[in-house]
Amino acid sequence: MFSKILIANRGEIACRVIKTARRMGIGTVAVFSEADRDALHVEMADEAVFVGPAPAAQSYLVIEKIVEACRQTGAEAVHPGYGFLSERAAFAEALASAGITFIGPNPKAIEAMGDKIESKKFANAAKVSTVPGFLGVIESPEEAVRIADDIGYPVMIKASAGGGGKGMRIAYSAAEVAEGFARARSEAASSFGDDRVFVEKFITDPRHVEIQVIGDKHGNVVYLGERECSIQRRNQKVIEEAPSPLLDEATRRRMGEQAVALAKAVNYDSAGTVEFVAGQDRSFYFLEMNTRLQVEHPVTEMVTGIDLVEEMIRIAAGEKLRFSQEDIRLDGWAVESRVYAEDPTRGFLPSTGRLVTYRPPAEGEADGARVRNDTGVVEGGEISIYYDPMIAKLITHAPTRAAAIAAQQRALDAFAIDGIRHNIPFLSALMAHPRWQEGHLSTGFIAEEFPEGFAMPKPEGEVAIHLAAVAAAIDHLFNERKRRISGQLRSAKPVRFERERVVMLGREAVPLTIDDRDGALVLAFADGRTVAVASSWRPGEPVWQGRVDGKAIAVQVRPILNGVALAHAGTATEARVYTRREAELAALMPEKVAADTSKQLLCPMPGLVKAIAVAEGQEVKAGETLAIVEAMKMENVLKAERDGTVAKIHAKEGDSLAVDAVILEFS
DSSP string, 341-359: SEEGGGTTEE--EE-SEEE
Q: What is the pLDDT of residues 101-121, one digit of tens each?
A: 999 999 999 988 877 777 877
Q: Classify residue 590 by its DSSP letter.
A: P
- The answer to whether 66 touches 8, Cβ cutoff 8 Å, is yes
The vertex-582 CA angle with 538 and 525, nearest 5°, equals: 65
Residues contacting residue 655 through CB under 8 Å, at least 6 positions apart: 608, 609
120 in any annotated domain: no
- Which CATH number characterizes residue 136's domain? 3.30.1490.20
- Cα separation, 210 vs 242, whole angstroms: 10
List the single range of 12-16, 86-90, 397-401 with lowest mean pLDDT: 86-90
Task: Please tell me the predicted confidence (pLDDT) of residue 438.
Answer: 96
CA distance 271 to 212: 7
Q: Which residues pair with 441 in a beta bridge?
A: none
- In tens, the pLDDT along 630-665 reads 886 678 889 888 888 999 999 999 999 988 899 999
Of 331, 346, 379, the position where a domain reaches its end is: 331
Instruction: Tell me what the mean pLDDT of segment 567-581 comes to.
Output: 94
Q: Among the three residues 586, 614, 632, which one is the final residue of a domain in this structure?
A: 586
If asked whether residues 342 and 428 sit together in one domain, one would say yes
Find out whether 384 and 56 touch, Cβ atoms under 8 Å. no
| C-alpha span between 506 and 526 (Å, rounded) | 18
Residue 500 belongs to a domain with what CATH number?
3.30.700.30
**Which residue in the list 87, 288, 342, 630 is annotated as catalytic?**
288
pLDDT at position 132 over 80: no
Question: What is the pLDDT, as a whole number, of residue 633?
Answer: 67
Q: Please state the pTM of the whole predicted model.
A: 0.82
Q: Please tell me the predicted confidence (pLDDT) of residue 337.
A: 98
Q: Whole-angstrom Cα distance, residue 431 to residue 617?
A: 47
Residues 425 and 404 in one domain: yes
Structural domain contains residue 431: yes
| Whole-angstrom distance, CA of residue 107 vs CA of residue 105 | 6
552 and 509, same domain (yes or no): yes
| Residues linked to residue 579 through DSSP beta bridges, in sequence order | 501
Q: What is residue 415's three-state secondary structure?
A: coil
CA-to-CA distance for 548 and 240, rounded, in angstroms? Answer: 30
Say if residue 172 is in the same domain as residue 268. Answer: no
Let me know whether 352 and 291 are in one domain.
no
User: What is the domain count for the chain?
Assistant: 6
371: pLDDT strictly greater than 80:
yes
**Are residues 389 and 347 part of one domain?**
yes
Which DSSP state fits 111? I
Confidence tier at 597 by pLDDT (50, 70, 90): low
Residues 651 and 637 in one domain: yes
Pair 618, 561 in one domain: no
DSSP helix/strand/coil, 433: coil
Mean pLDDT of 341-355: 87
CA distances from 530 to 359, 515, 521 (A): 32, 10, 10
The last residue of a domain, from among 201, 220, 239:
201
- In angstroms, rounded to a whole number, what is the distance separating the alpha carbons of residues 41 and 20? 13
Residues 215 and 256 in one domain: yes
Instruction: Name the burial class of residue 324, with classes exposed (0-12), middle (13-18) and buried (19+) by CB atoms within 10 angstroms of its CB.
Output: exposed
Q: Quick check: 542 and 556 in contact, CB under 8 A?
A: yes
> Domain for residue 488, yes or no?
no
pLDDT for the residue 136: 78
Write the pLDDT tens digit of every residue in 447-470.
Answer: 999 988 899 889 999 999 999 999
Percent of the chain with pLDDT over 90: 69
Q: How far is CA 300 from the centre of its chain?
A: 17
- The reply to whether 432 and 479 lie within a common domain is no
Could you tell me the CATH number of the domain that includes residue 300?
3.30.470.20
What is the amino acid identity at position 484?
R
Length of the chain: 667
Q: Is residue 604 part of a domain?
A: yes
Beta bridge partners of 558: 565
Residue 125 counted as domain residue: no
Q: What percentage of residues in the chain have a pLDDT greater than 70?
A: 97
Is 532 inside a domain boundary?
Answer: yes
Q: Are strands 77-79 and 4-7 parallel, antiparallel or unpaired?
A: parallel
Of the pLDDT bands very low, low, confident and very high (cuts 50, 70, 90), residue 195 is: confident
Q: What span, in angstroms and rounded, lies between the C-alpha atoms of 230 and 477?
A: 44
**For residue 638, what are the domain limits?**
600-666
Instruction: Tell me if 121 is assigned to some domain.
Output: no
pLDDT higher than threshold 90 for residue 445: yes
* Statement to judge: residues 250 and 327 lie in one domain: yes
Is residue 288 part of the annotated active site? The answer reads yes
For helices 174-192 and 141-151, the axis angle rounded to 10 degrees is 120
- 40 and 11 share one domain: yes
614: domain CATH number is 2.40.50.100
Residue 157 pairs in a beta bridge with: 169, 199
Does 320 reside within a domain? yes
